[in-house]
Structure 1
Amino acid sequence: MARASRKEAEQHRKDIVEAASRLFRQKGLGGVSVPELMAAAGMTHGGFYGHFASKDALAAEAFGAAFRQMAAWTAQVTGEGGAAGRAAFVERYLSPEHRDHPEAGCAAAGLLDFPRDTDNEAVRAAYVAGVEAMLGDVARMNGDDADARRTALARLATLVGSLMLARATKGTPLSDAFLDAGKASLLADAPKGPHSV
């Protein structure tokens, strides 16, 4: 069998990282095997170690990719920012669609239980860096808040907590109630008026 060119190898690595990013958010780090990851990327599991030293090495890259995807989604949803951008973000984040599709959703929520499966410092560092970036995004939505970081910490905790509780209670009335309560709490101080969302 012919070896892949450097360009093909780079694309294969990218495909593996993208598949892992989705599967880790959907099933957790421990819920996905190397053969399953490779099959999702359209490859056989034999080639895994040609790209990564370990599953944890892949996880660190996949976590980074998941958080970058979240940052792009946040920028798209919030648009030009302000109260309307924040309201749009909260509405989309705490939606049934986001609850029902963790594989394409928030990395902070979807990867939250990783410490159960690994104590690898590179994985933890990738998660913490992603959460810090999300905190920055949430803080920017707060406008001129004098205590932007503390407000961002509280808002991110409410977002992720509401989403995770809604996922854990999916299929019951409690699930939608968690989404609605999170939205109400986060949007309680949003300006009201003809142009607000």
Structure 2
Amino acid sequence: MPRVSREQTDKNRQLIEAASARLFKERGLNGVSVADIMASAGLTHGGFYGHFESKDELAAVACERAFSESDVRWRSLAREDADEQAFVGALAKHYLSAKQRDEPGSGCPAVGLAADVGREDTAKPVRGAYAQGIKAMLGRLLSFAGPRPSKKTRQRAIARLSILVGAVTLARAVRGDPLSDEILVAVRDYLHDGF
């Protein structure tokens, strides 16, 4: 049987990481099997352990990847000439949308993984990856505050992030009811008005 090239091995690993990041956000950490991930990546189940020691290791890597992808989206919203409130307004418009609510696989990992990560043992590697992802999101919100944000500025950033994540979580939970859209609009307007 011919050996797979290093380039193909790296490509396969990227396919596995991308598929797992999407599937974990869609179905949760325990709602996806290794076989599901490998099938979604277009690979055979047997090849998984050539890339990862365990599903726990993959969950941490997928979480890191999902937050990295999210950071790219957040950075694209921060125009060079934008101030903090303009960024928060653009972020609210993007984040508090029907697309974010209805497409968890392409949405924010802070929302898609929160409940499952919260149920994982503190020793699981995904816990640390998730915490780092949340800190990076906070860092993006604090990027307008300079190198040493005040305690009040940090608290406001934490509150904004919590409001964003909570609003999408609630909107997803009541999707199909008019309240879902009301939540998105109310929080988007609230953040846009200067909180």
Q: Above 0.5 in TM-score?
A: yes
**Is 2:190 the partner of 1:185?**
yes
**TM-aligned CA distance change 1:32 to 1:74, over 3 Å:** same
Partner of 1:166: 171
Q: Count residues in correspondence.
A: 190
**Is 2:78 the partner of 1:78?**
yes
Partner of 2:90: 88
Which whole-Å CA distance do the structure 2 matches of 1:145 and 1:176 have between them? 34
Partner SS for 2:127: helix
Partner of 1:128: 131
**Partner deviation per Cα, 1:75-105 (whole Å, 9 max, x = no partner):** 1122223132221111110011111111111
Superposed, 1:35-74 pairs within 5 Å as 35-74=35-74
- Unpaired runs of 5+ residues, structure 2, are none
- Unpaired runs of 5+ residues, structure 1, are 191-197
Q: Is the 8 A contact 2:63 2:109 kept in 1?
A: yes
**TM-aligned CA distance change 1:145 to 1:128, over 3 Å:** closer
**Partner deviation per Cα, 1:7-36 (whole Å, 9 max, x = no partner):** 111111111001100100111101101111
Q: Is the 8 A contact 1:60 1:126 kept in 2?
A: yes
Partner of 2:120: 118
**TM-aligned CA distance change 1:42 to 1:73, over 3 Å:** same
Aligned pair partner of 2:161 in 142, 150, 156 = 156
Give the percent of matched residue pairs that are identical in Structure 1 and Structure 2.
Answer: 44
Offset of 1:183 from its aligned partner?
1.1
Offset of 1:141 from its aligned partner?
5.1
Partner of 2:105: 103
Partner SS for 1:29: coil
Aligned-CA RMSD value = 1.8
Which whole-Å CA distance do the structure 1 matches of 2:171 and 2:177 have between them? 9
Q: Normalization by structure 1: what TM-score?
A: 0.90
Which whole-Å CA distance do the structure 2 matches of 1:167 and 1:79 have between them? 29
Equivalent residue letter for 1:88:
A
**TM-aligned CA distance change 1:23 to 1:141, over 3 Å:** farther
Which whole-Å CA distance do the structure 2 matches of 1:116 and 1:134 have between them? 18
